[in-house]
Amino acid sequence: MVGDAVVANMSLGQRFQEPELSEHEKLFRGLLPGPVADAYFELVGLGQRAVSELDPVDEELVTRQLAYLHRSHAAVTLRPIDPLIATTGLLSQVQDELARQQERLVQGYVAAAELHQRQLHDKQPGEVPSVLAQVLTDRDEIAERWLTSIHTVQCTYRSIAVHDPDQAAPVLPSPLASQCASMVFRELCTPEFLADPRGAEAVRAAVEAGIEVRTVPTLPARMLVVDDHFALVALVPTGDSGAVLVRSPVMIAALTQYYDRLWAAATPVATSTPGPVRRAQQVMRELGATEREVLALLVHGLKDEAIARNLSLSVRTVRRHIATVMEFVDAPTRFAAGAAAQRLGLLG
């Protein structure tokens, strides 16, 4: 008897198990309060119903343009907006809210920049604001700064890499593919770093990315200097557990002068991999005139159809040329192909 009751309860539970939600329902329930979503789907099922006076849920359905009031001689009823139209309207509302949030974010950055300027100009004589030098001890923050600071470069990036036998995979940061070709990226390392197979692979990847690499017999600690904006100096040789973020113009100038002296006496690294200029020349010899025209329009963000109209080609032909370009520059996507073209200087 007990077993039969358990089986009966299990069957009853399966019978009343909630059906899996469709993607459309998941979207609505993710963007709307639960009662509002429930009321909308109930209204869609009914087609219409009487308006509940002073019901905040009904008011929100109308406010969010998910339903409308239908007035007739008999009564006023609430009718649902078509689900497709309601979805589009709901996404537009989300987009508007994101735009407002983005505006507030920009205003926040502006306020932070103004605060920074006040800290610099309102300091007392002889006082050194903490913003000019900051000790970093959080490993995750330090690691992120070592690898991402290169993306803030406007003119020159100077870096020192130090050999770490305990590091699983040494990585030299790579500049963004879309950064200007006139920028200078320099990396100093030791012969010991280069002798390590992992270090040699990191150097090869850096050279392919457009970074100049030279070696110096000995280097004290890891360091990078980004333009005249800031520097990051390791407190331990590898800089993984402690570093100083320097924004003092005087200190940055001194570190830059020190780095440039090391660079002038350093030995350039020769690799078997063709550099960006040579690679660009090879690719340009292989690409035909039409491919180069397609590439130029691709980099400017034109869609396949627009490129076809501009060059009086079929869309199918344009896509074939884009595939050819992607293969030549070894890019997995059309966006990456455009970025590689800028990095390699294929656009003149």
Query: Per-residue DSSP letters for 297-346?
Result: HHHTT--HHHHHHHHT--HHHHHHHHHHHHHHTT-SSHHHHHHHHHHHTT
Architecture of the domain whose range is 132-268:
2-Layer Sandwich (3.30)
Helical packing angle, 334-344 and 276-286, nearest 10°: 120
What would the pLDDT profile of 221-235 be if each residue is shown by its tens digit? Answer: 888 898 878 888 888
What per-residue confidence (pLDDT) applies to 177?
42
Two tokens, residue 256: 């830059």
Structure tokens at 240: 């993984």
pLDDT of the residue at 148: 74
Neighbours of 271 (CB within 10 A): 14
Q: What percent of the chain has pLDDT over 70?
A: 71
Q: Tell me which of 134-143, 262-271, 285-294 is least confident.
A: 285-294
Which pLDDT score, from 0 to 100, does residue 273 have? 46
Structure confidence at residue 262 as a pLDDT band (50, 70, 90):
confident
Question: Is residue 187 predicted with pLDDT exceeding 60?
Answer: yes
| Contact call for residues 331 and 289 (beta carbons, < 8 A) | no
Name the residue type at position 107. Q
* CB-based contact 210:343 (threshold 8 Å): yes
* For the chain, domain boundaries: 22-122, 132-268, 276-344
Mean pLDDT for the stretch of residues 298-319: 84
Calculate mean pLDDT across residues 31-37: 85
> In this structure, are residues 150 and 175 in contact, taking their beta carbons and an 8 Å threshold?
yes
Average pLDDT, the chain: 75
- Burial string for 61-72 (b: 16+ CB within 10 Å, else e) reads beebebbeeeee
CA-nearest of 39, 81, 31 to 60 is: 39
Q: Is the pLDDT of residue 278 over 50?
A: no
Query: Is there a shared CATH topology between the 22-122 domain and the 276-344 domain?
Result: yes
Segment 258-283 shows an average pLDDT of: 66
| DSSP secondary structure letter of residue 230 | E
| pLDDT for residue 18 | 55
**Of 256, 202, 224, 50, residue with least CA distance to 149:** 224
Average pLDDT score over residue span 285-295: 75
Q: Which two tokens stand for residue 16?
A: 């009343």
Give me the CATH code for the 276-344 domain, please. Answer: 1.10.10.10
Q: Which CATH architecture has domain 22-122?
A: Orthogonal Bundle (1.10)
